[in-house]
Amino acid sequence: MVADTSNAMLSPFLARVMPDMEFFALFAGLVGLWLGTEATIRGAVGITLRLRVSEFITGVAILSIGTDLPELTIAVQAARETLHAGQASDVVIGTALGSALGQIGLILGATGLTAHLTLSRRLTYQHGGVLLGSLVLLGLFGLDGQVSRTEGISLVIVYVMYFIFLMTDMMGTRRHSESNEGTKLGNALVLLLIGLLVVTYSAELTVTSATRLAKTLNMEQSFIAVVILGFGSSLPEVSVSLAAALKRRAHMSVGNLIGSNVFDTLVPIGVAATIVDVEFDAAMLRFELPFLFALSVVVLAFFRRARGIQRLEAAVILGLYIGYVAIKTASL
């Protein structure tokens, strides 16, 4: 009787305190993102200087993988828990596509408002072609309503081939380093790894608290997966890309975003599908994937011009992404 009375008294108290705790966790996660980002950028710049490779290659080959760890973690967790077909589709496919949309729409647009973004035609055709080809391949695999184990392995193999190309390109453009660069390179790598760990953990904390707050508002799981988890898992890319642009490392920022979109399209879905067949929701196949492809074409068309992406182009990209979110919100 006493225990029941105590529980009854605690319930209203917990109901009042829990939201405050989630807001505190959200704030702590954002602070961690800022601190981790500072370390990540410094480490990445150190690697760029010591290896004497382009900032774009550093962003697309190194930063993109590190900042995409949340998306991969979410996909593997969803697959291992053997969720029902629709739920697995919502979490795995939704998070991957939502993250890619947030990166090339919101993050690239916001970065373009703070810095002038350019990319050579050669890099635009090379990496843009891989990005568009990956989206087409994913769409073809999803036509039958699921991504099978064989198709998942194929997606991962495509990314491995892309990564080998990046490493070959990196070694081909690298110039000889000074004899005392080994230790400094080691310090840069340690700083980069520490920064990525802090960013990843902080992003997880931020996403968890934001998701719990969203659930208290009775939002649908698909909306949480595509918009909240999709954007939340992109927080490492948000912090790293914006910080790189503000530190006048715009090419590193562009490389990070393009590399992250290629990674999101291929690896999280591919790895999850090797564990369990992932159902591809028909609505996402009809709307999210074509919209992501169209938005990617717009961005690459901007990069193809000598002008690149300045405030006008960035505003167009942001406007398209805001329109997408408005449509998703209206459909709830």
CA atoms within 13 A on the CB side of 322: 8
β-partners of residue 117 are 309
∠264-266-270 over CA atoms, to 5°?
115
Confidence (pLDDT) at 319: 95
Sign of CA dihedral 242, 322, 30, 74: negative
Confidence (pLDDT) at 135: 96
Which tokens go with 325? 């979110």
Q: Cβ distance 317 to 101 under 8 Å?
A: no
The domains found in the chain, sorted by start residue, are 2-330 (1.20.1420.30)
Cα–Cα separations (whole angstroms), residue 150 to 169, 251, 274, 316: 29, 35, 7, 38
Give the integer Cα–Cα distance in Å for 119 and 96: 25
Sign of CA dihedral 213, 217, 222, 227: negative
Residues 6+ apart with CB under 8 A from 31: 202
Confidence (pLDDT) at 228: 60
Confidence (pLDDT) at 178: 44
Confidence (pLDDT) at 20: 63
Residues 6+ apart with CB under 8 A from 172: none
Which tokens go with 96? 């991957």
Nearest to 100 by CA among 147, 61, 67: 67
Give the integer Cα–Cα distance in Å for 252 and 244: 7
One pLDDT digit (tens) per residue for the chain, 332 residues? 544 544 444 445 444 545 567 667 767 776 776 677 667 767 777 777 777 777 777 777 777 777 676 667 666 666 665 444 445 456 678 778 888 898 899 889 988 998 888 888 988 999 999 999 999 999 999 999 889 999 999 999 999 999 888 878 767 665 544 444 444 777 877 887 888 788 777 766 766 666 666 666 665 555 655 566 656 666 666 667 777 777 777 787 888 889 889 998 999 889 888 888 888 888 888 999 999 999 999 999 999 998 899 999 999 999 999 998 888 777 76
The C-alpha torsion from 138 through 140 and 141 to 146, rounded to 10°, is: 100
> What is the SS3 assignment for 4-48?
HHHHHHHHHHHHHHHHHHHHHHHHHHHHHHHHHHHHHHHHHHHHH
Give the integer Cα–Cα distance in Å for 311 and 315: 6
Length of the chain: 332
